[in-house]
Amino acid sequence: MLLYSSLPPRPSQLVTTTSLFEHTFDHAANGMALIAVDGRFLRVNGSLRALLGYPEEELLGFDFQRLTHPEDLGAFLANLGQLIRGEVGSFQLEKRCRHKDGHFLSVMHVVTLAREIDQRPRFFVDQIIDVSALREAEARAVTEAKTKQRLYEELARTNAELHHLQNQLLTVCAWTKRIRAGEQWQTIEDFLTTRLHLKVTHGISDEARQEFVASLDKGTPPPKPSV
């Protein structure tokens, strides 16, 4: 007993199936193309034409190699080879396609292969999904993350420098010219020698020398060193 499904389709069924495919192909929201085994575009839908910016006549004069970024072509051809050899039934691959105005779009390809009755490759069915906005958003997120990380690092360095400066701040008495070291007040000379271990020699600044000379000219007692 033969099942109905084993019978060849009626002509009306073929027409209905073909019409359904053509309607789906032409009105798909994503780009779709039928591509010959040698890479030539056999048919393209309106969404793909709008995506790439080419009129139908011009696009049908191209092959996909011409519109593919050179750096992405090798991987795409390798996947097509696996499809032809029957190693995979379909594949998904992201690559860059050139728009008519020259810039490249990031698109996801979902590719299957239609075969003849004798299993010879007939044409590729390629669904093209624009993911440019997603990749641009990801790139912005990476840039923003790097900017934030740089700001955090700069803030950390600034905080460290401020902490270092705070530890290095000295309290100086303006009247006695003494420096507070812990709970004690020391003369500048003691602080330099005991805290910083510096050797101190006495000298006279240009300002003190000028005041000393001026007092001699005026006949007044020379100024005394500050305590």
pLDDT digits (tens, 9 = 90+) for 64-94: 999 999 999 999 999 999 999 999 999 999 9
Q: How far apart are CA 56 and CA 86, in angstroms?
A: 31
Q: Which pLDDT tens digit goes with each residue over 171-188? A: 777 777 787 766 778 887
Helix (H), strand (E), coil (C) string for 146-185: HHHHHHHHHHHHHHHHHHHHHHHCCEECCCCCEEEECCEE
Question: Over its length of 227 residues, how does the chain's per-residue pLDDT go in tens digits?
Answer: 333 344 455 555 545 666 777 777 888 889 999 999 999 999 999 999 999 999 999 999 999 999 999 999 999 999 999 999 999 999 999 999 999 999 999 999 999 999 999 899 999 999 999 999 998 898 899 999 898 898 888 888 877 766 765 666 667 777 777 877 667 788 877 877 776 677 777 777 777 777 777 777 777 776 666 55
Q: Count other Cβ atoms within 10 Å, centred on residue 154.
A: 10
Token duo for residue 130: 């624009």
From the number of C-beta atoms within 10 Å of its C-beta (0-12, 13-18, 19+), residue 97 rates as buried
| Residues β-bridged to residue 111 | 91, 126
Contact call for residues 43 and 114 (beta carbons, < 8 A): no
187 Cβ contact partners less than 8 Å away, ≥ 6 residues apart = 177, 178, 179
